[in-house]
Amino acid sequence: MIAVRSRSGRLGRATLIAFCALVFAFLVLPILAVVPLSLNPGGFLVFPEGGLSLRWYRTLADSPQWTHAFGNSFKIAVATTAIATPLGTLAAIGLSHMRSRAKPVIVALISAPLVMPIVVVAVAFYFLFAPLGLVNGPVGLVIAHSALALPFVVIVVHASLSGLDPDLLRAAASLGAPPLTQLVRVLAPLAAPGIAAGAVFAFMTSFDETTVALFIAGPEQRTLPIQMFEGVREQISPAIAAAATLLIVASTLLLGTAELLRRRGERLRTGSAAPDVGA
């Protein structure tokens, strides 16, 4: 009977793995189809191709429009990360220490941009920023992207803080560490992987965002997603597939980094001792 159960357990495990593999293929293969299209030597999106070429990657590198769009996306994403990460971290720390009945309401308000249709959010930002003169400029775009990225930072950092032992802060306080020292020398090092993962998500949110940028960005703030959108609308070119491939590679690397940081945070939570808070 034990052998039968063992065989049935292996069969169930194999079935689960096969099902997960099919779901993964269903989700990923349509995205990966863009990669061979980006290597098309011709001037049209044709699959299968007659050969392989890096022609359209060279076009991206040589085109002022594409390089300008890459630069804009990178600069706006860096600025968004620099704003959303500390604000989201402080909000997550406050939520982790909150014991009020209003906490679910506050969490719902912070998470609202994640559940609202992005078009509704974009229209709201436009009507809010237009009277303030923040439309068609980089400042309004960075503020809007920071608001969109903030919930990701709060959720990731809050999840990282939820596994920390509160006795560590009590021990630091008993040793005479003031609140700021507890934050800098105890809480921040232990939550650093979560904070870094939140920063990665904030960067990705800004770099890949399209709809809000279409409403708020001006001609000089044309980002990479806007450039791709305009290219699809005006003339479908394999250069768009090349840009999409670069985005896929960048997103994969960033998601892998976030996962590594998450695992490192789990190891720190399970095997860490209280950091030195002595003078």
Domain assignments of the chain as residue spans, ordered by start: 64-271
pTM for the whole structure: 0.77
| Omega before residue 48 within 30° of 0, cis | yes
The answer to whether residue 134 scores a pLDDT higher than 60 is: yes
The pLDDT of 119-141, averaged and rounded, is 86
Q: Give per-residue burial for 124-157: e unless 16+ CB within 10 Å, then b.
A: ebbeebeeeebbeebebbbbbbbbbbbbbbbbbb
Helix orientation angle between 138-162 and 64-97, rounded to the nearest 10 degrees: 40
pLDDT of residue 39: 76
The pLDDT assigned to 68 comes to: 87
> SS3 for 136?
coil
Could you give the 3-state DSSP secondary structure of residue 100?
coil
Measured CA to CA, the distance from residue 267 to residue 16 in angstroms comes to: 27
Q: What is the mean pLDDT of residues 27-39?
A: 76
Q: Name residue, tokens 């069969």.
A: 11
CATH assignment, 64-271: 1.10.3720.10
Q: What is the pLDDT of residue 83?
A: 93
Half-sphere exposure for 207 (CA within 13 Å, toward CB): 21
Q: Which amino acid is present at 196?
A: A
Instruction: Pick 134 or 3 by higher pLDDT.
Output: 134
Q: How confident is the model at residue 43 (pLDDT cuts 50, 70, 90)?
A: low
Length of the chain: 279
Considering the chain, what is the average pLDDT of its residues?
Answer: 79
